[in-house]
Structure 1
Amino acid sequence: MTGRKHAASRKPWTEALWGYAFIAPTGLGLAIFYLWPVLQTAYFSFTEWGAFGGHTWTGLENYARLFGDPEVGRAVLNTLTYTVLGLLGIPIAIVFAALLNRPGLGGVTLYRTAFFLPVVTMPVAVAMLWRWLYNGDYGLINQVLALAGIDGPNWIADPATALYALIVVGVWSSVGYNLIIFLAGMQAIPKELYEAASMDGAGRVRQFFRITLPMLSPTAFFISIVSVIGSLQLFDLVFVMTGSGQAARANPAYSRLQTVVQLFYERAFVTNDRGYAAAIVMALLVLIAVLTILQFRLQRRWVHYV
């Protein structure tokens, strides 16, 4: 009897060990490639690096410099503007997903592929394509505008249009991914809800606002979280379309295009000010965390309201 109790008490421990063994590879990967670099960067943000390597502890000096740097303020403002306006891609994706979710619509697979193609295209290729389209001398957009007698600007070099032109590229690149997620969410809504609404006399528009949108709330929340985090980390589009270092600063719209990650890159790898660059990226990490927490709070209120 005692042996059976001992074997029964040992069984949960054996199952727990097997569980830890299965998650150990993933856990080690996360610790080595994610957690440890974050801890290293946090430490380096309190140091100053020499020209030939090596670092010295400087305390909060980098953070004091960070809050007094107007270039950081401009980069944060540009990044937040891109992030907020980039969320316009969510309602656009919802509208297109609703159109593709109509029963009896032919060619849905073709439409899905066309919308999703920018998502699987390399960001560098996307940036090079739009850089050509936006060119003020021979770009396709200005060529089309010239046919209507309109003299188009140099979209990326004009401070009045540069950031908004970049936002258009970001929205265009993200609509396909958002559309597929929303389409999957719409197809998971029970058909009985629409049938009951139809019997009560509700039209398609009313069904969309009374059934589709409330039922898509968790999906929209997920996409908003992913979109905000991705927008705050914007780098590749700006880097390819404007360059870096002196080439980027020669652009008249440089101050309107610089993002936080691009500023981090220039401080870390162009001017070799790695301690200050680590402080910049740690501030970005805090900003992402704050905005994510804010989105979770707003989501709870939205669910309660709905």
Structure 2
Amino acid sequence: MAEVKAKVPRKKASKRQKKDWFAGYVLIAPVTIGLLVFYIWPFIQNFWFSFNDVNKFNMSTFVGLANYKEMLGDKEVWRTFGNTLKYVVITVPLGLFLSILLAALLNAKIKGKSIYRTLYFLPSVTMSAAVAMVWKWMYNEQMGILNSALKAVGGKGHNWMTDPHTALFGIMVVGLWMTVGYNMIILLAGMQGISKSYYEAAAIDGAGAVTQFFKITIPMLTPTVFFVMITSIISGFQVFDTVYMMVGKANPAYESTQTVVMLFYRQAFDYGHKGYAAAISILIFLAIMLVTVIQMIGQKKWVNYD
């Protein structure tokens, strides 16, 4: 016969435990409320709006999947999505390479490391609008410092931000300039967390600096690299402020630089098509989620935390 297990009576929580629980709930309450009010509820509301025709006065009419059907057949949506994808595909690998390179250089024994770290990190804490305006002036056709430098050495100036073939690449340079320093700090922290005993053992075996970098630093830094890659892809899909400040509607390069988040903004606030804009935002969310899931699967495959 099966043994009957006796039920163990649950112990009542003591006053001290209840006080600890209450203190814990009080401490997490601000963050929890903030997430609910500013993230979770707006997302639910936005998801509902994507199934409605919402006018400028927030009066909604349920239209089902009409917004999604229109979006799937809208060439402008896929053109802007293509621009965004091009931005991500180019800036994320290049930015990751530059960040790792700078982190490795600043992790070495050189003079003035703290000064270099500060200089590289400053762009990431500077207001995006200010950065965009400065770079817009640098790209200026008439008096921009870039064209002035080219003319000084006998070259010809170029219409950097009005040429559809170069405008998006100009924005990529600005994006890299703003994010490389931040990612460098994260990667540098990851490098400094690697035990020096690995390098000492490799040096005893005769491994040089390059071999140590590829055989020790990169494998041990993989979790940090995955984190930086995921956050960079997410921010790349959400690029908006630099494009908005540097390229206007009257710019000939407007179509070649417009991102999907820019299209969302235009539809929601310029044209008042909030339901359609909500459907576009859901597309952005699904794209980011898909890429993140793929990244997480790859992380579990290549990284062993045990």
Amino acid at match of 1:140: I
Q: 2:77 aligns with which of 72, 82, 91?
A: 72
2:132 corresponds to which of 127, 132, 146: 127
The within-5 A match list for 1:129-278 is 129-243=134-248, 248=249, 250-278=250-278
Gaps of 5+ in 2: 1-7
Match of 2:301? 301
Measure, in 2, the Cα distance between the counterparts of 1:189 and 1:240. Answer: 41
The runs of 5 or more residues in structure 1 that have no matched partner are none
Comparing both structures, which one devotes a greater share of its residues to helix?
A: 1
Task: State how far apart, in whole Å, the 2-side matches of 1:36 and 1:51 are.
Answer: 20
Look up the SS of the partner of 1:137 in the other structure: coil
Q: Which residue of 4, 10, 33 maps to 2:13?
A: 10
Are the equivalent residues in 1 in contact too, given 2:56–2:274 (CA < 8 A)? no
RMSD (Å), alpha carbons: 1.8
Q: TM-score, normalised by structure 2?
A: 0.91
Deviations 1:35-87 (A, max 9, x none): 00000000111111235441111000000000000000011111111111111
- Looking at structure 1, the residues matched to 290 and 28 of structure 2 have their Cα atoms a distance apart, in angstroms, of 29
Q: Give the Cα–Cα distance (whole angstroms) in 1 for the partners of residues 71 and 21 of structure 2.
A: 46
Counterpart Cα distance in 1 of 2:23 and 2:135? 51
**SS at structure 2 position matched to 1:10:** coil
Letter aligned with residue 136 of structure 1:
E
Amino acid across the alignment from 1:94 = I
Instruction: Note the C-alpha offset of 1:152.
Output: 2.9
Quote the offset at 1:151 in angstroms.
1.5
Is 1:114 the equivalent of 2:119?
yes
**What is the CA–CA distance in structure 2 between the aligned matches of 1:227 and 1:286, rounded to whole Å?**
16
Give aligned pairs, total.
294
C-alpha contact (below 8 Å) 2:91/2:176 kept by paired residues: yes
Shift of 1:20: 3.4
Deviation at 1:25, TM superposition (A): 2.7
Query: How much has 1:16 moved relative to structure 2?
Result: 4.7
Structure 2 distance, partners of 1:226, 1:258, is 21
Say which SS state the counterpart of residue 8 (structure 1) adopts: coil
The DSSP-based 3-state class of the residue aligned with 1:218 is helix
Q: Report the Cα distance in structure 2 between the residues aligned to 1:116 and 1:21, rounded to whole angstroms.
A: 35
Q: Tell me the amino acid that sits aligned with residue 12 of structure 2.
A: S
Matched, 1:98 2:104: yes
| Sequence identity percentage | 48
